[in-house]
Structure 1
Amino acid sequence: MSDRTADRLDFGAFDYVIVGGGTAGCVLANRLSADPDVTVLLLEAGGKDGWVWLHVPAGYLFCIGNPRTDWCFKTESEPGLNGRSIHYARGKVLGGCSSINGMIAMRGQARDYDEWAALTGDERWSWERVLPVFKYSEDYWRGADDMHGVGGEWRVERQRLRWDLLDRFAEAAQQAGIPSTEDFNRGNNAGVGSFEVNQKNGIRWSAAKAFLRPALDRPNLKLVVDAAIDRLEIADGRVTGVLFAVKGEPARASARVETVLAAGAIGSPAILQRSGIGPAEHLRSVGVPVVLDAPGVGGNLQDHLQLRMIYKVEGVLTLNKRAGSLFGKAMMGLEYALFRRGPLAMAPSQLGAFAKSAPEVATPDLEYHVQPLSLEKFGDPLHAFPAFTASVCDLRPASRGWTRIVSSDPAVAPAIAPCYLSDPADRTRAGRALALTRRIVAQPALAPFKPTEHLPGPSFRTEEELAAAAGDIGTTIFHPVGTCRMGRADDPAAVLDPELRFKGLRGLRVVDASIMPTLTSGNTNTPTVMIAERGAALMKDARKAALRG
């Protein structure tokens, strides 16, 4: 890309330029453009969301690992994973990860947000203060109550199928001491039950559908897709706009009020670093002139590592068997086409459970995603034998990783190192988690199906051996956060203040999952919706204050 701005196509000036059309960007575009006096430009590096498999819930199998819809990042070789590098999916389409993820509607726990409030010194991030924000966005299938809202854009429904095998797993979990629950989103998600999902009548309900599409006919909102972001423009300590390219054609756009990075936990720090904002020594090492030494940019990477245990079974239907023939696949397609039900309507995980790794833990620190299927990894075919997968993850890992650019070229993927299991406490919890899975599977409820451990295998016995096995079977569950974290004004490692303003530069905010100081105790898409709602409100309040003078 040319550095001569005069050679660039000029898109003009907008009040707000939003970089990233994923979950947060779609919410921001809707809320900010609701004011007809405000102009908004939304830039998305991926394409439009018109492909059929982005809308059929089971289409995640075809979207993750597909360069049409996934950036297909890879991690660095991970010592905690016994030297393996793993696929790191990020949405490459309008709606971002909400267009390819597991659709699980999960807020996390009250203690997560109370911790944010303590770490930032701002009570607006406490559970009591964010709960109304969650409710405002929500359209909950059961109706409104003290914990849920109706009429919002973010549709939450129950899943439209059931499996005898999963019902028995839920019974087994209860026999192992995990209580039953009907709602994981009331502040403490302890228990076992069916996940609720972001779907509408059996169709994936992405942030692009929920928030962006209703706003696209507003004359004050402009959307540009296939906009590869180069870097921010900065003058006199203020971010004034964005340099990018549309289908290879250099372009620029200016922001009169604020530029907002909403490119996610990998994209936002990469854009900052290409702009000369980040750890100075590293920026120099890749030939990027340093504008601001900000050591926290790209650090504090946190993610949920899922440990996928696979069990062969007998005498019960699994998706491996149902999808194992042309007739079975045809019947699944017909059921979905006629009724929007059946396996094509299912999220990757239908059954969930939240449990404690040890009695002294105050709230659940383990999450299960249980599936009536098995495969080696996303993108691979289902196994030929009937089986189920019980994935368990450490909800609050102590390990911290990083992401850094390796080139100033935006076409070159950044280095990503989650540093899984690098903290000894995480290895201990991993061993305990796998042991708990075995305890659940050994309960009487599952005995008729004769479950046999296929992965990691019965040869791993002690907690220490199981912790080592975790390195072989662990993989991401696609919840990276924290790489532009917010914090107190006197916290030198915090990238943002509690209002999501960049510390050290004017006219710039970051509003996406990268702002989380700590990982939420559950799936991260719905918390990102809340973050964007809160960010939009903060920006509107700031504009009103500026107009008052």
Structure 2
Amino acid sequence: MDTFDYIVVGGGSAGCVVANRLSADPDVSVCLIEAGGNGKSPWVSIPAGIFGLYGNKKYDYSFVTVPQKHLCNRVMDVNRGKALGGSSAINSMVYMRGNRNDYDGWAALGCEGWSYDEVLPVFKNMEANQIGQSAEYHGFEGELSVSEQQDANSVGKVFVAAGQVAGLPENTDFNGPSQLGLGIYNVKQNRGQRVSSYTAFLQPVENRSNLTIMTHTQVLELDIVDQKVLGLTIEKAGVKQPLQCKKEVILCAGTILSPRILLASGIGNRDELDQLGIDCKHHVPGVGENLQDHIDSMVTVRSAKAESIGVSLKTLLPHVLPAPLKYFLGRKGWWTTNYVEAGGFAKTKLAEADKTDADVQFHFTPLYRSHRGKKFEWGHGYSVFTCVLRPLSKGSVKLANDGSRRNVEIDYNFFAHSHDQQTLVEGVKKARQILASSEFDHLRGEEMAPGKEVQTDAQILEYLRRTASTVYHPVGTCKMGTDAMAVVHPGTLKVTGMDNLRVMDASIMPRLTSGNTSAPTMMIAERGAAMVLAEQQGQ
């Protein structure tokens, strides 16, 4: 039987960081287990390759939800990365931390040690900022490269200028003192190539003699006796085998799969486990609960002008055919796009009334996004995606009652709370206000969605029920805290009732951060690994 000191489950945004930090000690053995492959593909490294990643089951788990009862019983995609780097290998690379009130809010919920002033130094230590932004908020010596986009499309700059007409200032640093305003997003890239948690933290150390990396390997369940994890059962190429753990098992499998592993191993709500025929080892009712994500809408405009990214006779010779050459010779051209090139944050009238932070985020794409749901459309245009930053609706991840202990039922429960409905309706109206600016006059075209016939709040809400999606930022299903529904303790990230089992990924967030969640997940991993090392040194 293979035996390791530390077993890290999941080689994604968090797991690559944890494996790096723990294996830095040559006297301990570390095993990192990843269900996907190594992710070494041009689709992953070239920014525009995102187009071929979402829904590609080689790189994407391609989960789906149960029918969403508040969204016309639609089944929704839940795209999650399946490769070393996890979702940081397939996402849009936007570098976003969230704001001060997000983390101070965690601390107010009982998560001592997670305030903004306490997590900011962690973000800075991990960052290799290439833009020259303020040292008060940024670091320059870390592993995670943060850069400007190589060749941002001019239409994104039009969006930023239009925001100023609508009362939204230009913001050149969403990770600085304020998130409010619009700007061109900074990205996790280095010389025009994707930087994932794998390329930043794992690839440079993957040849360490004390580090074993297992890909295409699924963790089925943990071997638990009393308060300790003795090991776990893995499956590779259809063959099951046990692994033994001498020190700790650390779950970094993400918001969907970390609770699945806990539940399959008998850690969860006793009543629900009994119904599934699973022996309850520890009654932890919060496992799989508290699921949150950013529900998202689209306003998309078709334009006859060929300034935006798009395939047409007008762009074939100047942009489409030369794109590979432009990219490989100078890291320029359309292959450099992350599609979500610009965006920002705004307050709806609801946030103004409540005197809170921005309550919606925009993701602007300088290309026409199909109003019919097609992956590709000929022609040109531009689109604004608007999401609810701090949703009040909460869902769950449960084990499917099919006897497999492998499959999950994901229920976002989107729009269960009326405040989320009202916020997104107002967000759509705010997006339309920006697009109505005279800055867009030279690109003006027909709004294909929601469409000119959708104007009243009731009509917009109905449009959202039929079309709203997600920005793919699921968090919260193993939340940290001190209340009865907490799964891990804020000071150790240990699972309730367990001595040597921790969770370190986006699932521990008690509340969703204001913005993209990749960088915050890496921060969680960095802090969690430091907790392990500090505890081991103290023994």
Q: TM-score, normalised by structure 2?
A: 0.96
Query: What residue is the counterpart of 1:462 in the other structure?
Result: 456
User: Tell me, which stretches of 5 or more residues in structure 2 are unaligned?
Assistant: none
Q: What's the CA shift for 1:256?
A: 1.6
Q: What's the CA shift for 1:218?
A: 1.2
Asked if 1:35 is matched to 2:59, the reply is no
SS of 1:81 mapped into structure 2: coil
Q: What's the CA shift for 1:464?
A: 2.6
Asked if 1:483 is matched to 2:477, the reply is yes
Asked if 1:540 is matched to 2:524, the reply is no
Query: Of residues 333, 343, 350 in structure 2, which corresponds to 1:352?
Result: 343
Query: What residue is the counterpart of 1:529 in the other structure?
Result: 522
Query: What residue is the counterpart of 1:3 in the other structure?
Result: none
Q: What's the CA shift for 1:333?
A: 1.6
Contact in 1 for aligned 2:153/2:309 (Cα 8 Å): no
**Could you give the per-residue CA deviations for residues 53-91 of structure 1, whole angstroms, max 9, x where no partner exists?**
011111111011001100110111112322211111111
Contact in 2 for aligned 1:191/1:355 (Cα 8 Å): yes
Query: What residue is the counterpart of 1:163 in the other structure?
Result: 153
Mapping of residues 134-283 of structure 1, within 5 Å = 134-143=123-132, 145-283=135-273
Q: What's the CA shift for 1:286?
A: 2.6
The separation in 1 between residues aligned to 2:445 and 2:240, in whole angstroms, is: 58
**Could you give the per-residue CA deviations for residues 474-521 of structure 1, whole angstroms, max 9, x where no partner exists?**
111110000000002xx1101111021111122100000000000000
The separation in 1 between residues aligned to 2:203 and 2:121, in whole angstroms, is: 24
**Could you give the per-residue CA deviations for residues 191-220 of structure 1, whole angstroms, max 9, x where no partner exists?**
110100011100111111100011112111
The separation in 2 between residues aligned to 1:70 and 1:121, in whole angstroms, is: 32
Contact in 1 for aligned 2:131/2:148 (Cα 8 Å): no
Deviates more, 1:202-211 or 1:231-240: 231-240
Match for 2:346: what amino acid?
A
The separation in 2 between residues aligned to 1:377 and 1:148, in whole angstroms, is: 39
SS of 1:23 mapped into structure 2: coil
Q: What's the CA shift for 1:288?
A: 2.1
Match for 2:116: what amino acid?
W
Asked if 1:495 is matched to 2:487, the reply is yes
Query: What residue is the counterpart of 1:307 in the other structure?
Result: 297
Contact in 1 for aligned 2:6/2:246 (Cα 8 Å): yes
The separation in 1 between residues aligned to 2:444 and 2:243, in whole angstroms, is: 62
Asked if 1:413 is matched to 2:407, the reply is yes
The separation in 1 between residues aligned to 2:509 and 2:87, in whole angstroms, is: 17
SS of 2:274 mapped into structure 1: helix
**Could you give the per-residue CA deviations for residues 433-474 of structure 1, whole angstroms, max 9, x where no partner exists?**
111111111111112222321111122212232122112221
The separation in 2 between residues aligned to 1:450 and 1:424, in whole angstroms, is: 33
Asked if 1:338 is matched to 2:348, the reply is no
SS of 1:311 mapped into structure 2: strand
SS of 1:165 mapped into structure 2: helix
The separation in 1 between residues aligned to 2:508 and 2:125, in whole angstroms, is: 21
Q: What's the CA shift for 1:342?
A: 1.7
The separation in 2 between residues aligned to 1:291 and 1:378, in whole angstroms, is: 48
Q: What's the CA shift for 1:326?
A: 5.6
Alpha-carbon distance change, 507 to 378 in structure 1, aligned in 2, over 3 angstroms: farther
Deviates more, 1:463-472 or 1:379-388: 379-388
Asked if 1:512 is matched to 2:502, the reply is no
**Could you give the per-residue CA deviations for residues 224-264 of structure 1, whole angstroms, max 9, x where no partner exists?**
11111100110122112211112222112122221100000
Query: What residue is the counterpart of 1:93 in the other structure?
Result: 83
Query: What residue is the counterpart of 2:60 in the other structure?
Result: 70
Q: What's the CA shift for 1:337?
A: 1.8
Alpha-carbon distance change, 410 to 72 in structure 1, aligned in 2, over 3 angstroms: farther
Asked if 1:372 is matched to 2:362, the reply is no
**Percent identical:** 37
Contact in 1 for aligned 2:306/2:314 (Cα 8 Å): no
Match for 1:421: what amino acid?
F
SS of 1:49 mapped into structure 2: coil
The separation in 2 between residues aligned to 1:464 and 1:484, in whole angstroms, is: 36
Query: Of residues 114, 118, 122 in structure 1, which corresponds to 2:108?
Result: 118
**Could you give the per-residue CA deviations for residues 354-408 of structure 1, whole angstroms, max 9, x where no partner exists?**
0001223421111000001123389944322321110000110000000111157
Query: What residue is the counterpart of 2:121 in the other structure?
Result: 132
Asked if 1:317 is matched to 2:307, the reply is yes
Q: What's the CA shift for 1:282?
A: 2.2
Q: What's the CA shift for 1:318?
A: 1.7
Query: Of residues 376, 385, 390 in structure 1, which corresponds to 2:379?
Result: 385
Alpha-carbon distance change, 341 to 41 in structure 1, aligned in 2, over 3 angstroms: same
Alpha-carbon distance change, 410 to 46 in structure 1, aligned in 2, over 3 angstroms: farther
The separation in 2 between residues aligned to 1:381 and 1:333, in whole angstroms, is: 21
Alpha-carbon distance change, 53 to 318 in structure 1, aligned in 2, over 3 angstroms: same
Alpha-carbon distance change, 68 to 344 in structure 1, aligned in 2, over 3 angstroms: same
The separation in 2 between residues aligned to 1:104 and 1:81, in whole angstroms, is: 28
Match for 1:28: what amino acid?
V
Match for 2:345: what amino acid?
F
Match for 1:133: what amino acid?
V
Contact in 1 for aligned 2:345/2:358 (Cα 8 Å): yes
- C-alpha RMSD of matched pairs (Å): 1.8
**Could you give the per-residue CA deviations for residues 27-46 of structure 1, whole angstroms, max 9, x where no partner exists?**
00001111112221111111
Contact in 2 for aligned 1:57/1:347 (Cα 8 Å): yes
The separation in 2 between residues aligned to 1:82 and 1:277, in whole angstroms, is: 33
Matched positions, count: 533
Query: Of residues 413, 421, 442 in structure 2, which corresponds to 1:427?
Result: 421
Match for 2:324: what amino acid?
G
Q: What's the CA shift for 1:412?
A: 4.4
Deviates more, 1:228-237 or 1:262-271: 228-237
The separation in 2 between residues aligned to 1:332 and 1:410, in whole angstroms, is: 46
Query: What residue is the counterpart of 1:6 in the other structure?
Result: none
Contact in 2 for aligned 1:62/1:379 (Cα 8 Å): no
User: Tell me, which stretches of 5 or more residues in structure 1 are unaligned?
Assistant: 1-9
Contact in 1 for aligned 2:131/2:146 (Cα 8 Å): no
Contact in 2 for aligned 1:178/1:355 (Cα 8 Å): yes
The separation in 1 between residues aligned to 2:13 and 2:380, in whole angstroms, is: 35
The separation in 1 between residues aligned to 2:226 and 2:154, in whole angstroms, is: 64
Match for 1:336: what amino acid?
Y
Asked if 1:450 is matched to 2:444, the reply is yes
The separation in 2 between residues aligned to 1:233 and 1:462, in whole angstroms, is: 56
